[in-house]
Amino acid sequence: MATVMSIFKFLMPLAYLVVWGTYLWLFYTDSPTARRLCTRFALIVVGLHTACIVGRGIILGRLPMGAPAEFFCALSLAMLATYMVIEIRIKAKNTGFLVTGVSFLFVLIGSLFSSTTDEVSPFLRDPGFAGHAVLVLFAYTALSLSFLYALLYLILNRQLMRHQFGLLFRRLPSLETLERMSIGAVKLGVPLLFAALCLGHLWMYDLADRVDADMAAMLTPWDPKIMISWVILLGYSLGLLGNRFLGWRGKRMNTLAVGAFVAVVLTMGLVYHFFPSFHNFRSHQPISALSGFPQSAAEMLAVNEEAGR
């Protein structure tokens, strides 16, 4: 199994490269063959990568998102999978080269810098946390795609305003389609983020009962990252409501989407660097050392059984 995983580690960037190449081929030539192949290739790669990550998770006995390289691999899969949902719903393929290009870059980083270290946070061995983390990953990926499409909208809008009829004019879908893709991504991201936050809260309360007092004291819903996530969820939800009921659209709506995502990145960056948070899963953080949190899946099972008795 481990050998198969090692092979996949090298094959996966190649598979992403093929997908990216096919989307690039489509963008530059509008070839019917590329149009027919790109979605199929992408879906195959999503399936393969999902199997690969699940397999790796089974081998390691934890969520394979502990090391930075693992995170990049998961991020590439999340981007491609989320993009596929949007592409299949909106039926517009000509922007695929951007997302698949970024996905390829992430999976390449993940493969080049992957290490065999297993020193990760014990949280990653908890199924509740795994669900929360995966949902968060997909939610923020969807929001980042919304940003990307809103940005493309603004670029095409600018080109049309300036009467420039170049390659982007010829290849990008209509402004309306780009707006639908951007809003579609938000419609995907908002419920995922909501589910992620709810699951995170449930998991946190469940965890508080299973760890020692020091650790339990740190598990607070007032954690800055959690609070800012609720604010982000609220902001995007208001945007969706404005679009649905107040008819917000066009340049204004897309500028808002771009601005919102930039604000998310900046705020998250600030919170991460200047506020203490229990949302830190690197192995050397004091949280794992301080807590009585189980260090392996077997230990986790034992703790759960104990709690059950």
Structure tokens at 21: 């190449």
Nearer residue to another protein within complex by CB, 251 or 279:
251
Rounded to whole angstroms, how far apart are CA atoms 224 and 242? 27
> Which residue of 160, 217, 266, 270 would you call a contact of another protein, by CB under 8 A?
160
- How far is the CA of 227 from the CAs of 196, 197, 222, 277, in angstroms? 13, 10, 6, 11
> Which residue of 3, 10, 222, 246 would you call a contact of another protein, by CB under 8 A?
246
> Which residue of 56, 180, 187, 210 would you call a contact of another protein, by CB under 8 A?
180
- Is the separation of the CB atoms in 65 and 71 below 8 Å? yes
The dihedral through the CA atoms of 22, 49, 127, 267 has a sign that is negative
Rounded to whole angstroms, how far apart are CA atoms 37 and 63? 32
Closest separation in Å from C-beta 261 to another protein: 19
Rounded to whole angstroms, how far apart are CA atoms 39 and 101? 14
Is residue 176 part of the contact set for another protein (CB under 8 A)? yes
> Which residue of 116, 163, 305, 309 would you call a contact of another protein, by CB under 8 A?
163
Site for another protein in 248-287 (CB under 8 A): 248-253
Closest separation in Å from C-beta 25 to another protein: 13
Helix (H) or strand (E) holding 279: none
The DSSP line for 223-241 is -HHHHHHHHHHHHHHHHHH
Closest separation in Å from C-beta 187 to another protein: 16
Judged by CB under 8 A, the number of residues near another protein is: 25
Is residue 165 part of the contact set for another protein (CB under 8 A)? yes
Structure tokens at 148: 């990307």
Structure tokens at 284: 């050397």
> Which residue of 3, 32, 305, 306 would you call a contact of another protein, by CB under 8 A?
32
Rounded to whole angstroms, how far apart are CA atoms 252 and 154? 10
Is residue 245 part of the contact set for another protein (CB under 8 A)? no
Rounded to whole angstroms, how far apart are CA atoms 88 and 301? 40
Closest separation in Å from C-beta 164 to another protein: 9
> Which residue of 247, 274, 289, 308 would you call a contact of another protein, by CB under 8 A?
247
Nearer residue to another protein within complex by CB, 201 or 244:
244
Strand partners, 45: none
The dihedral through the CA atoms of 218, 221, 223, 229 has a sign that is positive
Terminus-to-terminus CA distance in the chain, angstroms? 36
Nearer residue to another protein within complex by CB, 250 or 276:
250
Nearer residue to another protein within complex by CB, 92 or 227:
92
Closest separation in Å from C-beta 144 to another protein: 23
Nearer residue to another protein within complex by CB, 62 or 93:
93
> Which residue of 52, 53, 151, 175 would you call a contact of another protein, by CB under 8 A?
175
Q: Which stretch binds another protein (CB under 8 A): 19-27, 119-127, 170-178, 282-290?
A: 170-178
Q: Phi and psi (nearest 5°) for 120? A: -125, 170
Angle subtended by helix axes 224-245 and 175-208, to nearest 10:
140
Q: Which stretch binds another protein (CB under 8 A): 69-77, 101-109, 166-174, 193-201?
A: 166-174
Site residues, another protein (CB under 8 A) = 29-30, 32, 156-157, 160-161, 163, 165, 169-170, 173-177, 180, 246-253
